Amino acid sequence: MDLLPIQLEILIRQAIHAAQAAGDLPEFDLPESLTVQRADPAHGDYASPAALQLAKAARRKPLDIATAVAAHMPAVDYVGAITAAPPGFLNIRLADDWVLEQVEAIIAARDDVFALEIGAGQRAQVECVSANPTGPITVGRTRGGVIGSTMANLLAALGYAVELEYYFNNAGRQMQMLGRSLQARYLEALGLAFELPAEGYQGDYLIELAKQLVAEHADALKDESWERFKTLAEVAIFEWIEASLNRIHMKFDEFFNENSLYESSAVWEVLEALEQRGYVYRSVLHAAATDEERAQVKPGAKEAVWFRSTAFGDEKDRVLVKSTGEPTYVLPDIAYHKNKLDRGFHYLVNVLGTDHIIEAQTVARGLEAIGYDPEPVHVLLHQFVTLFEGGEKRRMSTRKGEYVTLDELVADVGADVVRYFILARSPNSHLDFDLDLARTQANENPVYYIQNAHVRCAGIFRQVAESDLDTTPPADLSLLGEQERAFVRKLLELPEIMVQAYTELAPHKLAFYALELAREFHPMYENVRVLHSEVPHDVARARLRLYAAAQMVFKRLLTLMGMSAPDVM
RNA sequence: GUGCCUGUAGCUCAGUGGAUUAGAGCGCUUGUCUACGGAACAAGAAGUCGGGGGUUCGAAUCCCUCCAGGCACGCCA
């Protein structure tokens, strides 16, 4: 079944046509979409301002249109009442019986509760983190990881077969510098003469790693090249990275090495494809260079290979191969995305920091230029993380060894808090991560409020197991009161939130919904007791079904966010 | 300088055209409870939605302009 707002929109359309056929409304063209949204509970479950939108075309008062639509609304089991309200809203209330039936449907679905089929039979891939293995995972990269893994969980719930991928480059100047830095630290640990490169990596982790190497190999490596040390560093750092990410419940299916695109010559095939289609030229300067730029060209300057990206709306052409003969990052990146599409993924998400926006656009243009449709590639950009400690902004640099690692953060506040803290804001908003605040507020956190809802449900069932209450279904759910029914209505919002988070690439919607749901749960828990001498057994049994459903949904929600759903805290 | 993002309660942030009083968490004030885990519940104070102008039946939301912060404008990745 489609989501309720979609169903309701269809019903409203049918009602309009019926009203027109009956002569209660004049003929007019309907817009492509009519708004149906969640309503203030005082008004109903859903509301539609459709009549207000149609007033002009129909040349009738909005309230008259709404009244006519309400009168001709087709009867279905899930709609209880539809009424017109000034100035022309349609208020729709779900049928009570139908709402109560959903309690059993939720329980029956278990861990798959609210699973959807949007992506059924399709493959999706989420790429995130993708930091080169030059040091520990920092807080900045963590944001992309949390967002990416949540999107991956979400896509799986929508029916996609999902893979999580990490793209990296273990060649290049950065990695050479890493190798040389480790080499220096190794010689230092042996007490030999050493020189840390001027642009070298200064983090303590290389000193630690060097000590390990001495412990394992003594001085056997002292005459090895920097390449050997680069490999040693890379292997060790990747182990750390994977372990760190595992701590926040992230597991990658694939680590994709950029270098494989050279080994398979995929990079050069892309260049050839671009060339064949006429989007490549060789020149010292880009085609739209100004006279001023031309005047500054030094004699004997070598030509570079350019991508005519302006043919696809770019503001300037981009270099594919430098005058040194070495490709820029652009070329392998296009090859990488071609590779992803060739692997048969139907839906791709790239989680990137906003500083990579140009890169994302260039890749899309490159794919188009070689005849690929970039439509399946969805770019989820997130703003930066600024870390504060002691009221001061902490500037991060992996190379200088200035950073706060994910591990430190997890050690301070725990994995669930890290994930929720990051997830509970729009990717579009700058994230000020105040370390002191995170530490002191660890116990005053929404995370615990949400998880406590799950704990309380689990607690009830622990107690029930020791009581003499007969828990075998069925239970008479009609014994549930208003507060309980309102809560079930809130539970039923989750699939709509999931679809919104998916279509808008906005995983933070899950985090806010979780808090709202907990906010409705706890007051109910205070009032709606199960095990109490004054609660009749049949009422207690009905309430147990409610709490079983609540527990199921909280677990689903926490799992989607990559958080744990504890039974005790 | 140009483009993109951001500016909403003391703090951290939702909400980006729809329903008299603009929401949440934290913090603050005042209460509740010898019933399933109190990391709870209830009540309250707190906002010129950065400033100004415009469009609309209706604007935090769209348009213009100004102010403030971030990011991007490389033959770096």
Neighbours of A416 (CB within 10 A): 23
Closest protein CA to C1' of nucleotide B35, residue: A532
CA of A434 to C1' of B9 (A): 20
pLDDT digits (tens, 9 = 90+) for A496-548: 999 999 999 999 999 999 999 999 999 999 989 998 878 888 999 999 999 99
**Do residues A58 and A48 lie in contact, with contact meaning Cβ atoms separated by under 8 Å?**
no
Question: HSE-up of A341 (CA within 13 Å, CB side)?
Answer: 18
- What is the structure's pLDDT at A395? 66
CA of A83 to C1' of B19 (A): 14
Model confidence at A564: pLDDT above 90: yes
Whether the bond into A133 is cis, omega within 30 of 0 = no
Task: Indicate if ipTM > 0.90.
Answer: yes
Identify the weakest region by mean pLDDT among A57-61, A91-95, A416-420, A491-495.
A57-61
Task: Give which of A92, A66, A64, A65 is closest to A80, Cα–Cα.
Answer: A92
pLDDT digits (tens, 9 = 90+) for A432-452: 777 777 776 667 789 999 999
Neighbours of A94 (CB within 10 A): 22
CA angle A469, A474, A476 (to 5 degrees): 85
Task: Give which of A323, A308, A313 is closest to A271, Cα–Cα.
Answer: A308
Model confidence at A392: pLDDT above 70: no
A176 CB below 7 A from strand B atoms: no
Of residues A564 and A387, more confidently modeled: A564
Average pLDDT over residues A69-80: 91
**Residues 473-502 of chain A sitting with CB below 7 angstroms of strand B:** none
How far is Cα A270 from Cα A472, in angstroms, rounded to an integer? 64
How far is Cα A363 from Cα A278, in angstroms, rounded to an integer? 17
pLDDT band at A391 (very low <50, low <70, confident <90, very high): low
A512 CB below 7 A from strand B atoms: yes
A466 CB below 7 A from strand B atoms: no
- What is the structure's pLDDT at A533? 78
**Do residues A90 and A37 lie in contact, with contact meaning Cβ atoms separated by under 8 Å?**
no
- What is the structure's pLDDT at A360? 94
Per cent of chain A over pLDDT 70 is 98
**Do residues A418 and A406 lie in contact, with contact meaning Cβ atoms separated by under 8 Å?**
yes
- Domains along the sequence of chain A with CATH: 4-94 (3.30.1360.70), 172-247 (no CATH), 446-560 (1.10.730.10)
pLDDT digits (tens, 9 = 90+) for A291-338: 888 888 888 888 999 999 999 989 899 999 999 999 999 999 999 999
**Residues 362-421 of chain A sitting with CB below 7 angstroms of strand B:** 383-384
Task: Give which of A341, A180, A161, A355 is closest to A266, Cα–Cα.
Answer: A341
A2 CB below 7 A from strand B atoms: no
CA of A102 to C1' of B57 (A): 39
A123 CB below 7 A from strand B atoms: no
A196 CB below 7 A from strand B atoms: no
Closest protein CA to C1' of nucleotide B33, residue: A526
How far is Cα A237 from Cα A136, in angstroms, rounded to an integer? 7
Model confidence at A104: pLDDT above 90: yes
**Residues 413-452 of chain A sitting with CB below 7 angstroms of strand B:** 424-426, 428-432, 434, 437, 441, 443-446, 448-449, 452
Average pLDDT over residues A201-222: 93
